[in-house]
Every structure is written in structure tokens, then in C-alpha cells.
Chain A
């Protein structure tokens, strides 16, 4: 199985790849939430501007989204950084990214002029107006999210400390079978 590894390789991968990716991706989402949570009204206006939901018929959905999405970003980001239920956090971030990509494409193809507000009033890599840059950026963010879902948080994580079932543990017998294969 490709997901099995010996302790040394696993630790190396954990320190050189999984930990930096977790900190980066989690940090990006914590940063996004940090900028949105104090400005919920602006974020609600941004969601409305995407015109994905009809603000006249379903204003409550926009309001719920404005309050829940930033907190989801914050919690998932923090959990990813510390490696607690990291696969779940990576999956949540991946699904959120997919939703964002869909919303961005909706804006682009319906020729709506909308602000991304992806990081509140701040910009990260791309400008504020919705365009292909944000789509590509989110697709790029999907890569570490997918990798962390696949490989897990690595050994430097709370999942490893608490021994969550989702964390893959080293099994010498399987490892030798893997090498043989």
C-alpha cells in the first residue's frame, strides 16, 4: 500500500511536507477568517454580490452563510495547523474551496461585477475583483488539501498524539509486504 511507510521516511515526509502544507493551508484560512469575522456585514454583502442566492427570496441563507463560513474557516484552519482531526479539516477546506470555485465561475460566466472578499478587505495573491486569478488560486489550494486528505497530517500532529483512528500508524508487517510488492 502506498500509504504505508517506514518510520524514518514518514517522519521526514511529516516534517518536510505535511507540516508545512498544514501550516500554510490552515494559515491561509485562519487569515481569511480573521479578516471576515470582524466585518460580517461586508461579507454578507459580498455573498449577495455573487448573486448565487436570490437576496430577495432567501436573505436568511446569505445571513447564515455570512456567519457560518468565517467560523468554519477559522476552526478548520486551526485544526489543520495543530493536526487535530486533520483529515476532516482538510476535507472541509477542500469542499469549501470547491464551493468558492463554483461561486467564482458563476460570477465570471454570468458577467456579474462582484468583489471576491475572499480575505475580507485584504488581498492575497489576486486582486479584489473576481476573475480567473481567484479560480486558479483556489484550484492550487485544492492540491495541498487533497494531499492532506490522502496522506493525513503526519507524525507531528495532535492526531498522532491522541492516536485517532483516521491517523495511519506504522505496521512493520504491512510495510514489509509493501516493499515486497
Chain B
């Protein structure tokens, strides 16, 4: 008898949760979890308003931030690290061209886009971004659109919608890049790329990084 009563109570809670969830679903915009179509070539499009229209002459020398990077995608506290000596980076081809998930960029393609001045978006957690990120990257996690939409849209609007935007997270099977890409696609961005490798791969290759708080 008691067991029946507990079970019926449990089913009542489940039913009520379905009811509230249904009403909730009807009251907000439909949620979307499909993957966006991203490009995988290493060529920058959207010639206007690229990040750092004057790309760093020597990306290895990350100690000299690009003056053109006064845009909001470069936090004032973004201090380049890991590039004390301007030595030529030599990364083995097997690392640069390591296999990546379909529809994503290899490390080589990502670096070429970085050199060409594409916008880079860090989709990891904010504290991870603050600890270190790809130089000139901006932080824009998908969840920011829910928790602080004004800030999220301000960051998104600092980039022209037609510009090339490369999004990265921790790499591997992480979904954060895809989630941010979906949000950006919804607000009109047309050239979104996903890094198939993660931030640690970028660091391991010795490519320029920065640290500091998100804008």
C-alpha cells in the first residue's frame, strides 16, 4: 500500500514536470542542438574587418601585440605569454596535419587562419580562458547567451558577421565550439570554422598565447 502511494506520488511529480516543461517549451523559442555547417579550408573570407587587418608580422614574437587589436576581441589585460624568445617555431608535419574530426580544422589550417587575421573565439570556461588562450582570441561560451546576453551580443557584434571566425575549445570530442558556432550562426555569422584540435595542442605546438580576463 505504502509502495503504491510512493510510486503514485513519484508519477505525479513526473507528470507535473512534463506539464511545466511543455508549457515552458511553448513559451520560449525552440531550442536547437543540430550541428552547424562549418568550412574547413584555411582561407580567410570576408576581407572587411578581419581581426588584425595588419596581421602580426612575426606571430612568434607574441610579445608585441598587434596595434590593430584594440577591438573588443582583444582584452586590455591580454598579455602574451610563452614567446619570450623570437625563435622560429618548428612543428612536425604530423602534428600540424594530425587527423581531426570531419568538418573541423587541422592545427596547420588553424594557424594559417590566425596568421591571416581571422577572429578566434574561445568557447571554453571563462576561468580557462583567463588562465591562457590563443593570442587575440575573445571568450564567448555558448552559455553566455543565456546568462548574460548583453555581454554575449556585445562580443559577437565586435566582429563583422561576414568575417572568418575560428572557434576552439579543449579539443577532442568537446562540443563547446559547436555550441558557440550554432549561436553565432543564428545571429547571422556566415563563415564559421571549428578547430578540430584543442587549446592544449596549440600550446604544445608553441604557437602564441595570451592570458588575462575576458572582455
Contact = CB atoms under 8 A, between A and B. Distances in A.
By secondary structure, the A interface counts as helix
Given A48-B33, A166-B2, A40 B14 contact: no
Given A67-B22, A89-B13, A166 B5 contact: yes
Interface string B112-155: 00000000000001000000000000000011011100000000
B21 A39 contact: no
Nearest to B28: A40
Nearest to A69: B17
B145 A88 contact: no
Interface residues of A, number: 47
B89 interface: no
Interface string B12-44: 111011101110110010011110000000000
Interface in A116-171: 120-121, 128-129, 149, 164-166
Contact of A79 (B13, B125, B142, B172): B13
Contacts, number: 119
Given A37-B24, A67-B22, A114-B175, A42 B143 contact: yes
A75 B20 contact: yes
A72 B12 CA distance: 10
Interface in A36-55: 37-42, 44-45, 48-49, 51, 55
Interface of A: 37-42, 44-45, 48-49, 51, 55, 59, 62-64, 66-72, 74-76, 79, 85, 87-89, 91-92, 95, 111-115, 120-121, 128-129, 149, 164-166
